[in-house]
Amino acid sequence: MPPDLNIRPEEASDADAVENLYAIAFGPGRFSRTAYRMRDGVPHDPLTSFVAERNGLVIGAIRQTRIRVGEAKAYLLGPLAVAETAAKQGIGRGLLKRSIDAARGTAADAIVLVGDPPFYGPSGFDQVWDAILMPGPVERHRLLCLPLKRMVSGPVSVATW
Ligand SMILES: CC(C)(COP(=O)(O)OP(=O)(O)OC[C@H]1O[C@@H](n2cnc3c(N)ncnc32)[C@H](O)[C@@H]1OP(=O)(O)O)[C@@H](O)C(=O)NCCC(=O)NCCS
């Protein structure tokens, strides 16, 4: 991790910079994705949402949103994005670790996400195929889960806890 980099909790004043990062990283098609639609209008969780800042600029961000998998408390992780100009310096993995560590201190049983297995696998995420049912289409091989306290399964709903 670069020494001049600061990873800190996302604040309300970061919202525009974070949305801008996500817009560039994921493009306009992001709004039609199931994970994005689930988060639409739902506040992200402040305990597990972080930004990476350098020289006063937000160059990376990660958010998590509270969900339920069946009755179990869980998080939906994402979006995670790092500015292309700052790629491959360990910032993405640094944000991921910080956010997972923060989730371990909550009541969540697990973290669910839709993402690339080679990137998230080393952090402990496994493919869950059809054990977890998202409320919309997802590429099943990209549906991943990290048990924090226990494995979870069942339908996902955006329910606060
Ligand atoms: C994915 C992303 C967050 C990685 O950020 P980063 O700061 O460059 O990541 P790090 O420097 O911590 O790690 C880089 C490593 O991850 C790998 N990696 C990056 N994106 C990857 C992907 N989609 N699938 C597999 N591996 C990936 C790199 O090849 C590199 O591997 P290495 O360490 O063996 O060289 C960033 O590229 C990004 O914002 N991408 C666009 C949005 C996105 O795809 N977000 C994640 C959704 S799955």
What single-letter amino acid sits at 140?
A: R
| 1 in a structural domain | no
Q: What is the pLDDT of residue 159?
A: 86
- Given a cut of 90, whether residue 161 has pLDDT beyond it is yes
Q: What does the mean pLDDT of the chain come to? A: 96
Length of the chain as a residue count: 161
Nearest CA to ligand 1 atom 20: 119
Q: What is the pLDDT of residue 145?
A: 98
**Confidence band (pLDDT; 50, 70, 90) for 3?**
confident
Q: What is the pLDDT of residue 160?
A: 84
Expressed in angstroms and rounded, the spacing between residue 71 Cα and the centre of ligand 1 is: 32
Domain coverage including residue 20: 6-157
Nearest CA to ligand 1 atom 5: 92
| 34 in a structural domain | yes
Expressed in angstroms and rounded, the spacing between residue 17 Cα and the centre of ligand 1 is: 20
Q: What's the pLDDT tens digit per position in 29-86?
A: 999 999 999 999 999 999 999 999 999 999 999 999 999 999 999 999 999 999 999 9
Ligand 1 first shell, C-beta below 6 A: 25, 80-82, 87-93, 115-116, 118-119
pTM of the full predicted structure?
0.97
CATH of the domain at 150: 3.40.630.30
| 84 in a structural domain | yes
- How many other C-beta atoms can be found within 10 angstroms of the C-beta atom of residue 95? 24
Q: What is the pLDDT of residue 21?
A: 98
Q: What percent of the chain has pLDDT over 70?
A: 100
Question: In angstroms, rounded to a whole number, what is the distance separating the alpha carbons of residues 132 and 150?
Answer: 14
- Given a cut of 90, whether residue 1 has pLDDT beyond it is no
Tokens 């919202």 appear where?
A: 15
Count of domains forming the chain:
1
